[in-house]
Structure 1
Amino acid sequence: MNNINKLALIGGFRSFSGSIIWPYVGFALYKVYGLPLSVVSLFYLVQAVVNVIASISGGIITDYLGRKRSMALSILFSSIALLLAYVLNMPLYVMVFILFQSFFNTVYNVSSTAIVGDMYKGTSQLIKAYSRQRVGINAGWALGPLVGGYIFTFFSFRTLLLISSLLVLIIIPIVKILPDFKGAGSILNFNLNKEFLTFLIPTFLTFAIVGQLGFSILTYYNTILHFTEFEVGILFAINGLLIVAFQDLAGRLIGSKVKLISFGMVMYGLAYLAIAFITNLYVAMLDVVFITIAEMIVTPISQALANTLANKDTRGKQMGLYSMVTGLGRVIGSSVSSELMNYYLYYPLGLWGSISLFGFSSAVLYYIILRRLKSIVV
């Protein structure tokens, strides 16, 4: 088995163990533990702060300890955090230990993103490699929310915490057989360039809308259209299965055509705007198909561009910054949508029209930035 397939397998196990709980965390805090939406919004804001700390420190750890050791340690401590949340099972403790797990998830993401950049060169090869890695990751995401939704509906969120904490340990032996890479130079030297920093601006907006496929969709569909958690889990499963089936093909078709990222962001914006007009599960399924097509275009191009613009000697730290921005985009996007729901939950066009602006804005910025990077991005 070659290294990218090992990473895809590791990503699959890890994403399955994580995705049985993550789409339901905010919802569980709201429905199961009885916390108001304002507290859920605060939780996501605190998670944003945790993500900043984890991304910066994770980049330093990844360069210093190496990719392989960072991945293994982050998986182990992530498992321990979820186990403690299961044992203590009170709202404050659950939030605190899920935030710890979020910290170690971020360290893992930095390491796994950096190691692909170490092994492959050029935007075309990187897009193909990240597409293959995403096949594994989304195989887990295809099954995880569906299983998680079933367990949540018929057992409990607490049961999900226990199962997730145990499942993630399975992949540590596979991590140990990967090749290792380390950074070079001073531990605090990030060696940033203007092109990389500029690219991070639309990246933030991109992942603010990417992160809506979770708490926002679940809460809206459950509250307004009365879909069960299991039915929303079906939507998440469609997303994952389509990526498993077609992400490799999408990567080959994209090749080095990185400007397609703007097209993908326009599609994201339109697909989320369309949620305001959805009235039943079948139309919601169709809309998820378009959200998924946008994701298959945008995400591997974004990862490939980040690695292309990064310096190889400080790749871990720069992928830490990239992870920080993507993570901030996700959690602040969820926080913004949570806050918007306080005012527009029963005014769908206002809610999803506002959210769709993340996609349209980033599409314009990518178009402007990529025109200036023709000589760099090849």
Structure 2
Amino acid sequence: MDQINKIALIGGFRSLGGSLIWPFIGFALYKVYGFSLDFVSIFYLIQASVNIIGSISGGIITDFLGRKNTMTISIILSSLALFLAYLINLPIPIAGLILLQTYFNNVYNISSTAIVGDIYKGANNLVKAFSRQRVGINAGWAVGPLIGGYIFTTFGFRLLLLVSSVIILVSIPLIKLLPDFKGEGSILSFNINRDFLMFLIPTFLTFIIVGQLGFGILTYYNTVLHFTEFQVGILFAINGIMIVAFQDLMGRFINKRIKLISIGMIIYGLGYFSIALVTNFYLASLDIVVITIAEMIVTPLSQAIANSLASQRSRGRQMGLYSMVTGIGRIIGSSLISELMSYYIYTPTILWGIISSFGFISSVLYYIFLKKIKNVI
């Protein structure tokens, strides 16, 4: 089995366990445990701080311990955090343990991204490799939210914590089959170039809009259009199934077409603005198709560009910074939509118009950036 197929399979098991609960965390805090939308917004802001700590320290850990050890340790500790949340089952401890699990998720994501960059060289190979990795990851996402939505609706959020903690452990034996890589030099030396830092600006804006595929969509559709958690789980499953079925094909199409990331962000903006026009489940399903097409274009190109601009000796640390920016973007996106919903949840053109603007702005910034560094990648 090729190394990237092993990585994709590991990512599939890992994402299956994670996607059981991730789309429902903010919603559970709001609906199940009785926290206000303001608290949910604060929770996501705290999660952003945890993301910063996890990304920086995770990058250092990845270079120091090696990719394989870091992936294994982070999975075990993430599982333990979820299991403790299941046992304790009290609102504040659950929120705290989910934040702890967020930390270990960040560490895992950095190590799994870095190992792809270590094995495959050049932007074109990286686009194809990250596309294949996403096939595995989204195989988990294709069924995880659907199963999670069913368990949530039928048995409650607590059981989700237990099931997720068990499933994510399945991938550990597969990690032992991978080659290992470590960083070099001082663990505090990042060796970051200016182009990499400039790339992080549109990346941050990108992941504000990417982060809406979770709390934002679930809460809006449940509150305004009265979709059940299971119905929204079906929407998430459409997203995952499309990526499993078509990401490899899309990877071949976008390979050597790095500038298509700008087009992808325009599609993202249109897809999220169109949520304001959705009136039933069928239109919501069609709109998630548009959003998924944007995701299949943008995400592997973003990962490929970031890895192309990073050096192997500090790849873990630089991917830590990339992970920090993408993670903060997602969390700020969730926090922002939570705050905006307090005022505009029944004024969808304003609500989703603000969110979609991040897609259009980042599209312009990507275009300017890629014109400048076209000879670098």
Spell out the pairing of 1:276-355 with structure 2 (5 A cutoff): 276-355=276-355
* SS of structure 1 residue aligned to 2:24: helix
Return the alpha-carbon distance in structure 2 between the equivalents of residues 27 and 255 of structure 1.
37
User: Which residue of structure 1 aligns with residue 10 of structure 2?
Assistant: 10
User: Which residue of structure 2 aligns with residue 240 of structure 1?
Assistant: 240
* C-alpha distance after superposition, 1:159-192 (max 9, x if no partner): 0000000111111111111100000011100001
User: Which residue of structure 2 aligns with residue 250 of structure 1?
Assistant: 250
User: Which residue of structure 1 aligns with residue 142 of structure 2?
Assistant: 142
Spell out the pairing of 1:149-188 with structure 2 (5 A cutoff): 149-188=149-188
User: Which residue of structure 2 aligns with residue 267 of structure 1?
Assistant: 267
* C-alpha distance after superposition, 1:89-124 (max 9, x if no partner): 111000000011000000000000000000001111
* C-alpha distance after superposition, 1:191-240 (max 9, x if no partner): 01100000000000001000100000000000000000000000000000
* C-alpha distance after superposition, 1:320-356 (max 9, x if no partner): 0000000000000110010000000010001000000
User: Which residue of structure 2 aligns with residue 111 of structure 1?
Assistant: 111
Return the alpha-carbon distance in structure 2 between the equivalents of residues 112 and 167 of structure 1.
18
Return the alpha-carbon distance in structure 2 between the equivalents of residues 364 and 91 of structure 1.
42
TM normalised by structure 1 equals 0.99
Give 1:311 shift.
1.5
Return the alpha-carbon distance in structure 1 between the equivalents of residues 88 and 16 of structure 2.
23
- In structure 2, the gaps of 5 or more residues are none
Give 1:255 shift.
1.0
Give 1:34 shift.
0.5
Report the AA paired with residue 361 of structure 2. S
- Provide the aligned C-alpha RMSD in A: 0.4
Return the alpha-carbon distance in structure 2 between the equivalents of residues 174 and 107 of structure 1.
18
Aligned residues: 377
Report the AA paired with residue 20 of structure 2. I
Spell out the pairing of 1:29-68 with structure 2 (5 A cutoff): 29-68=29-68
* SS of structure 2 residue aligned to 1:144: helix
Return the alpha-carbon distance in structure 2 between the equivalents of residues 142 and 319 of structure 1.
26
TM normalised by structure 2 equals 1.00
User: Which residue of structure 1 aligns with residue 76 of structure 2?
Assistant: 76
User: Which residue of structure 2 aligns with residue 214 of structure 1?
Assistant: 214
* C-alpha distance after superposition, 1:235-288 (max 9, x if no partner): 000000000000000001111110000000000000000000100000000000
Return the alpha-carbon distance in structure 2 between the equivalents of residues 273 and 255 of structure 1.
28
Report the AA paired with residue 266 of structure 2. V
Give 1:374 shift.
1.1
* SS of structure 2 residue aligned to 1:273: helix
* C-alpha distance after superposition, 1:123-167 (max 9, x if no partner): 110000000000000000000000000000010100000000011
- The yes-or-no answer on 1:201 pairing with 2:201 is yes
Return the alpha-carbon distance in structure 1 between the equivalents of residues 190 and 86 of structure 2.
38
Report the AA paired with residue 136 of structure 2. G
